[in-house]
Structure 1
C-alpha cells in the first residue's frame, strides 16, 4: 500500500504522526507497517528537519503570545459628574416648526434650483418650481409615508381620495416634480472609485449635510444611546445590505443616537475616526461620539 507519513506539532507541543493513503493506492489489500519502521522514519524525519522544527516552535510561540484569555471581573468605570450646558430649555414647537428646523429655507432653495437644473438638462423647460412648492412636495411625501397606499395615484382617485394630499397639488404636477427631483449637480459627480473625492452618497449629500448640521445644533442630554435605524429598501443601490435573519432583509443601514444629536449613514465603507480601533461596530460608536463635548460627563 502506498502511503505517506506526516509529522506535525500540535498547539500543546506534542509531535503527532499521521499516515496518509495516496489516491492511487490499493486499499483492499493494505500492507502492514510495524511500529519499528514508524519509529525509524520518525527519527529520520526529526534529524533531517531540526531547523524546520525550530521555526515552527518560534511561530507557535508567537501565536501563543497573541492569544487572550477573557475573565469575568467587576468593572468600575471612571466617570465624572455631568456638566449641563448653560442654555435655556426650548419651548415645545409646533409640527411645522420642527419641519422647518430640518428643512430650512436655504435647503429648500437649493433643492428647487437643482430640480430646475435637472429639468433643463433633460430638455424640459416648463418646470419652474420654487422653494415653497418643494416644501409642499416634501410634506406630501412625509404624509404618504404615514398614511400608506399600494399606489400613490390612489391618493387622487375618487374611491380612495385623500384631500390632505390631493388638494395640495395635482397628480400630474406631483409626478413631474418627482421625476426631476434632485439634490446635486450630475455634471460634478466623481465616478472613479479610486478618486479621493469619490462619494457614494453624492446624490443626496447636500440633504444629509444640512440635516446633520441642524442635529448638531441641538443640545445633547446626559444619557446618550447609540442605535441602528433600518430603512427598508429593495431597489438598486450599492449601499444596500442583505441580512437573512432580519424581518426587513434588504435595507439601508443608518446609525442614530437619542434625539438625533448625530447620525452616520452607512455606505459600506468603514467610518473615518480620529482613533480607529479596527472593529467596525466600535468605530461606528466612536464616530457618533466624536461630536459630543469632551470632559462633560456624557454617558
Structure 2
C-alpha cells in the first residue's frame, strides 16, 4: 500500500492534536530535550577564536541538525512500514512537537488579559514571548511586541514546519525545528557573533519561502515588500508587515524599525482580531501543506512509478 495517504493526512491530525492538547511540559517535550543538548554542545564555542568559533559552530550545527534529520528519517521509514491505522496517528504524534500554534495563540491572548490588570503584568507576560527588553514599554509597545511575535512565530512555529514536512516529510519538519531552535539559542551578535553565524544564516535560508507564504496566508497587500524590507531580518518582516497592513496597524521596535508608519496604534480589540486572522491563516496553512505534499508525492511517482505501487 502507498504511504501517500498517511503522509497527506498527518498534518491535519497533528494540527488537531495541537488544538486539543497544546504543548507537553518540558520534561516530555523533544524540542526541550534538543535545546538541552544544544546548550551542552555549544557551551564553549563562543570562547574560541573567531575562525575556530565559526568552524566549530558550523560543525556543531551540521551534526545536531543532521542527526535529528537522520533520526526522523529512520522513524518515518519504520512508521510507514506499519499498517495505515497505526502509521497515521503515530506519524502525526511525531510531527506534533514541531508545531506550536495553540501555545502561541494562548500566550499572546494572555498578554491582553494581563494588560487589563496592569502594565507591569502585561510587560511580564510579553517578556515570555520575546528576548527584547520590555521594561520601558508602555501599553501600546507591549501590544506591538505581542503582535509582532504572533506574526513572526506563526511562520516559525507553524507554517515553516508544515512546509518542510510537505517537502521532505518528518525529516524536513524535525530539521526545521532543530535549525530554528539553534538560531534562537545561537544566532545572535555579540558573544555568539562567530559561533552562531551558521545557525543564523541557515535559519534565514530555510525560512525564506515559508515567511513569504505566511505573508500570503495573512493576506499580502500592496506595499508589503517595501514594508518588510524595513526590518533587519530577511524574513521576519514579511509576516509582521502583512499583519500590520491587513489590520491597518503601526508596529514598531524601538531603534530598529517601524512598519506601516501611517497606521494606528494597536488597541485591545486589535489583539483579538489579529488572533482570529492568524488562526484562519494557520488552518489555511494546513490545507496548503496537504496540497503541497500531494504535489511532491505525485512528482516522486512520476520519477519512479514502481515506488508508488
- Is this a same-fold pair by TM over 0.5? no
TM-score of the two chains, using structure 1 as the length reference:
0.26
TM-score of the two chains, using structure 2 as the length reference:
0.25
Q: Which has the higher helix share?
A: 2
Q: Which has the higher strand share?
A: 1
